[in-house]
Amino acid sequence: MKNTRDLVTISLAFFFAFVGPGACQPFVIDYLSDDKGLSLSQASLVLSTVYFTFMVFRFFIGFVIDVVGLNRSKVMGVATYVLFPLILYQGGSFPVFMAGSVLWGIGAPMLWTSSLVQILNTSAPSRYGTSTGIVRGTVQFATFVGAYVLAAVYAHRGYPALLFIAAGLGSLGIVAMLTSPTRHFEREKPDLRKFVQLIRNHEAKAVCAFLVCSGLAYGVILNGFKSHIELTCGKAWLQYILPVFFLSGILASYLGGRICDRIGRWPTFAGGFAIGAAGMLLAWAFAHPAILMLSMVCIGTQFSIVPLTGFAWIGDNTSPADRASIMGYVFCFRDLGVATAIQLCGVLAAATTTFLAFSIVSVLCTVLAVGVGGLARPRGTNPPSCP
């Protein structure tokens, strides 16, 4: 089954969802504290609740999609991205903002899981990595562009215009998703016993560990990099060094998917973590701007390579009938890593030794990927739902 239309329309929907609502996240805490009168802790809780809700509902997403349907889940998921900035603008109390966060946290796994299940179900097995890499690369490109667009809107028009522009751009994502093909796939009833079977599989356990480590590293390291650059190179270098992370992530997504399909999942996992380990080690050992740019390239590469390889691995080892549930179970672990990182940032991000610690973690993941890869069966012959 050719999936060109699926890939184009779904990627467009993700682009508009992230160039607008997705890219407004860096402004949320300041807006709620400056314009809405929330304390800093309350404003931070509003944003972190999105990710904790995302994590919880990702685990049960198979049940949600079974009730709502895969095609409706895609559209409803994009709609929650649009509603969030509107709730921020219209809301006047902390409970209302929290309700908006929960709503977005429910919609995000609906969008991601239903869309990527459709992409995998309509892709040839030899293109699982390529197809998911295109979607992830589009998301990162949209976030990169959106950060500049919304920053310009904020500088000239303030927060209200920023939120309206974000919602307006997101609305185009709903239109794009409505034009995506309506697909009907055989689905098995979600069963939590599959999760118990999943965690008995050595490959699945390794992938889950990779996603936790990748989520933690992303949350803690990227947050700490801002302070590290300011202390070692000065604030003027932020505008030159930080964007390199996103640019390398975009390139690594588009190219990494092809590499993943060509050389296999486990070598790609190992290569991604090895590159990330090198980048973190460079950040720990050197403070020169050029070295930190190279470090950002390496860390951005790991951030992109690991999740898309996880999606491709799921494509190899699941059937269309149970793909949504298994994807939810596995990627719940990445959300756990990101959500935990939000809480750890205040404790660890300022410590330069954090770079060294996570470089060691990435080396261990590299070794684990090589070891598990040596034991892995050929693609498609070792479904994770089997004990």
CA–CA separation, 247 and 252 (whole Å): 9
Do 353 and 229 reside in the same domain of the chain?
yes
- Do 115 and 206 lie in one domain? The reply is no
387 falls within a domain? no
- For residues 188 and 376, the answer to whether their CB atoms sit within 8 Å is no
Is residue 324 domain-shared with residue 203, that is, in the same domain? Answer: yes
* Residue whose tokens read 């070792």: 382
Q: What 3-state DSSP class applies to 109?
A: helix
* Any domain includes 220: yes
**Separation between Cα atoms, residue 133 and residue 48, nearest integer Å:** 26
Q: Are 214 and 302 spatial neighbours (Cβ–Cβ below 8 Å)?
A: yes
Q: Domain check: are 116 and 258 in the same one?
A: no
pLDDT given for residue 6 in this prediction: 94
How far is it, in rounded angstroms, from Cα 376 to Cα 136? 26
Helix locations, the chain, DSSP H? 4-19, 25-34, 40-59, 61-68, 70-90, 94-121, 128-157, 159-178, 193-198, 202-232, 238-263, 265-285, 289-317, 323-348, 353-375
Residue 185 lies in a domain: no
Q: Give the orientation angle of helix 94-121 with respect to helix 289-317, to 10 degrees.
A: 60
Confidence (pLDDT) at 37:
87
Question: Cβ distance 23 to 149 under 8 Å?
Answer: yes
Query: Residue 77's domain is classified under what CATH number?
Result: 1.20.1250.20
Q: Which residues contact 54 (CB under 8 A, 6 or more apart)?
A: 105, 108, 109, 335, 339
What is the mean pLDDT of each successive set of 10 residues along the chain, which is 387 residues long? Answer: 85 97 89 88 86 88 90 96 95 93 95 94 93 94 93 92 95 96 79 78 92 82 74 85 89 94 96 95 90 92 94 91 88 81 57 80 94 72 46
Residue ending a domain, choose from 153, 178, 203: 178
28-45 as b/e, with b when 16 or more CB fall inside 10 Å? Answer: bbebbbeebebeeebbbb
SS3 content of the chain, % helix, strand, coil (to 5): 85, 0, 15
Length of the chain: 387
- Find all residues with CB under 8 Å of 64, minimum gap 6, and list them: 57, 73, 106, 109, 110
Enumerate residues 6+ apart whose C-beta is below 8 A from 37: none
Q: Let me know: does 197 contact 29? Beta carbons within 8 Å.
A: no
Contact 228, 285 (CB under 8 A): no
pLDDT at 386: 41
| Domain extent at residue 90 | 4-178
Q: Identify the pLDDT of residue 164.
A: 95
Place of tokens 């700490």: 224
The amino acid sitting at 348 is L
Last residue of a domain, one of 132, 147, 178: 178
- Are 248 and 357 in the same domain? yes
> DSSP letters of 273-299?
HHHHHHHHHHHHH---HHHHHHHHHHH
Please indicate, yes or no, if residue 201 is contained in any of the structural domains.
yes
pLDDT computed for residue 347 by the predictor: 53
pLDDT at 199: 77
User: For the chain, what is the domain count?
Assistant: 2
Q: 228 and 352 in contact (C-beta within 8 Å)?
A: yes
Residues 163, 308 within the same domain: no
Does residue 224 fall inside a structural domain?
A: yes
* Max Cα-Cα span within the chain: 58
Residue where a domain terminates, one of 178, 207, 236: 178
Residue 95 lies in a domain: yes
Q: Find the radius of gyration of the CA atoms of the chain.
A: 20
Are 341 and 216 in contact, with CB atoms under 8 Å apart? yes
